[in-house]
Structure 1
Amino acid sequence: MTITAREVRWGTAGKMIVDGVTLDAVPGRMLGLIGPNGSGKSSLLRLICRLRRVAGGVIRLDGADMAGMARQVIARRIALVEQQATTEAEITVLDVVRLGRTPHRGALSPWTERDGEAVEAALRHVGMAGRRDQSWHTLSGGERQRVHIARALAQTPSELLLDEPTNHLDVQHQLEILALVRRLPVTSIVALHDLNLAAMFCDEIAVLREGRVVSAGPPDAVLTAAMIREVFGVKACVERSPHHGRLHVQFLVD
């Protein structure tokens, strides 16, 4: 396992947000985090990349307790793509992606050939190499998300965390972004709202409710009508699609 969490706890303002979470990220595979709003998905991702400190339990990277690791060391291994951000600055696609090299450079370090190669590879991975000089403000939502992923890839991470990467995107861009992530040679942990996207792209799924993992495993084992009714409070029919063989969740309205 690359990332493991054992009985991880964190809270704020007297409320426990992440409450005893245990999970494993399998190398080279995609782990999906699903659950209602406020279930702790985003907070857990921030704990994993140590933007927040755990109040209890332990998160390990390749068996080592991350609490004892320097932030720069973690940033060279783990990249986080947060929900879409905006900026008023006049910047280009290349400017944004170059920021991904920050963990590998000192404050006064010159730009190196290795930095340039990492940025170029990241742009190619997301299909934005031809847009390098385009203004950030002229990009569509899907294109901006690709650039965010490219910035993360410029860190040359082995683990990639994504917080609702398909939020506010149309269906085409949702599918394109998750297909892109799935093709990347990294271990990924992705917080998602859409159960069908989780079923389509994730190798394993962990279901969170009120900060706790209530179910975890492959989509076939986790995405059941009983779980959806219990966790999300809605009725659903879960069937295997005759078109692609994956599970499909159909929500039922009385």
Structure 2
Amino acid sequence: MSIMVDKVTYAAGDTLIVNGVSMAIEKGKVLGLLGPNGSGKSSLLRLICRLRQVRSGVITLGDDDVSKLSRATLARRIAFVEQQSATDMQITVRDVVRLGRTPHRGPLSAWTSDDDEAVATALARVDMTERAGQLWHTLSGGERQRVHIARALAQTPSELLLDEPTNHLDIQHQLEILALVSRLGLTSIVALHDLNLAAMFCDQLAVLQKGAVVATGSPAEVLTEDIIAGVFGVRAHVEKSAVHGRPHVQYLIG
């Protein structure tokens, strides 16, 4: 397994946020993390990349306990794409992506040809090479998110975490971003709200409710009418899509 979460618990003060979560994701696969607001999805992602400290339990990357890795080693191994951020700074797309090289460089290190190659490769993988000199603030929402992913790829990680990468994007850009992630070949965990997008682009799904895992498995195993009703509080009809062969959720009103 590439990422293993074993009985992990996290609390903010007296409030339990992540409650005994266990899950595993195979190398090179995409796992979709689903659940209502406040179910612990974002907190779990931050625990995996050690932006939060677990109260109990163990998280491993391959054979390595995350808590035993140095910050620099962890940053070279795992990249985290948070929800969209804004800046008023006059910086170019290339400048943003260059930030992804920070874990590989010391405070006094000179910029190298390896750094240039990593940045160029990352831009190419998200189809933003021709926009490299464009100012960040002139990009569309979908383009900015692609640059966020390019910055993460410039870290040359083996694991990629994304927190609501399609948030506030139109449907075209949602499809483009998730298709991109699914093609990267990296071990990825993606927190999502849209069940149909999760079914289309994720190899495995895990559903959280009140900080605990209530279902894991393939999209067909997880996206059932009973689970959707029990976790999300809505009635739905689930059928196999004639287009992509995966589950398609239709929500029922009344």
Common fold: TM-score over 0.5: yes
Instruction: Tell me what 2:25 maps to.
Output: 25
Q: 1:115: which partner in 2?
A: 115
The answer to whether structure 1 residue 70 and structure 2 residue 42 are counterparts is: no
User: 2:237 corresponds to which residue?
Assistant: 237
Could you tell me which residue of structure 1 aligns to residue 193 of structure 2? Answer: 193
What's the CA shift for 1:63? 1.9
Partners of 1:132 and 1:64 in 2: how far apart? 36
* Displacement over 3 Å in runs of 4+: none
How much has 1:185 moved relative to structure 2? Answer: 2.3
Q: Aligned runs of 1:157-168 on 2, under 5 Å?
A: 157-168=157-168
How far apart are the structure 2 equivalents of 1:200 and 1:224? 15
Amino acid at match of 2:166: T
Match of 1:174 in 2: 174
Q: CA deviation at 1:215?
A: 0.3
Give the aligned partner of residue 222 of structure 1.
222
Distance 2:232 2:211 in 1: 14
> What are the within-5 Å matches in structure 2 for residues 195-210 of structure 1?
195-210=195-210
Separation in structure 1 between the aligned mates of residue 250 and residue 83 of structure 2, nearest angstrom:
26
Aligned twin of 2:85 = 85
Q: 1:241 Cα deviation (Å)?
A: 1.2
> How many angstroms apart in 2 are the aligned matches of 1:32 and 1:244?
17
Give the whole-Å Cα distance in 2 for the aligned partners of 1:185 and 1:243: 23
- Size of the aligned set, in residue pairs, is 254
1:10 aligns with 2:10: yes
Q: Which 5+ residue runs of structure 1 have no aligned equivalent?
A: none
Amino-acid identity (%): 65
2:197 aligned counterpart, secondary structure: helix
**Structure 2 residue ranges without an equivalent (≥5):** none
Cα deviations across residues 195-236 of structure 1 (Å, max 9, x unaligned)?
A: 000000000000000000000000010000000000000000
Is 143-152 or 237-246 further displaced after alignment?
A: 237-246
Q: How much is the aligned-residue C-alpha RMSD, in angstroms? A: 0.6
Paired letter, 2:191? A
Deviations 1:57-91 (A, max 9, x none): 00011122111110110110100000000111111
Amino acid at match of 2:167: N
Aligned to 1:135: 135
Q: Indicate the larger mover: 166-175 or 237-246.
A: 237-246
CA offsets per residue over residues 70-123 of structure 1, 9 Å max, x none?
011011010000000011111100010000000000011000000000000000
**Which residue identity does 2:70 align to in structure 1?**
A
> Which letter maps to 2:187?
T
Question: For residue 41 of structure 2, what is the aligned residue in structure 1?
Answer: 41
User: Could you tell me how far apart the structure 1 residues matched to 2:219 and 2:96 are?
Assistant: 35
Alpha-carbon distance in structure 2 between the residues aligned to 1:116 and 1:65: 31
Cα offset for 1:13? 2.5
Instruction: Give the C-alpha shift of residue 25 in structure 1.
Output: 1.3
**What amino acid is the match of 2:89?**
A
SS of equivalent residue, structure 2 residue 216? strand
Q: Mean Cα displacement is larger for which, 150-159 or 54-63?
A: 54-63
Deviations, residues 168-204 of structure 1 (Å, cap 9, x unaligned): 0000000000000000021100000000000000000
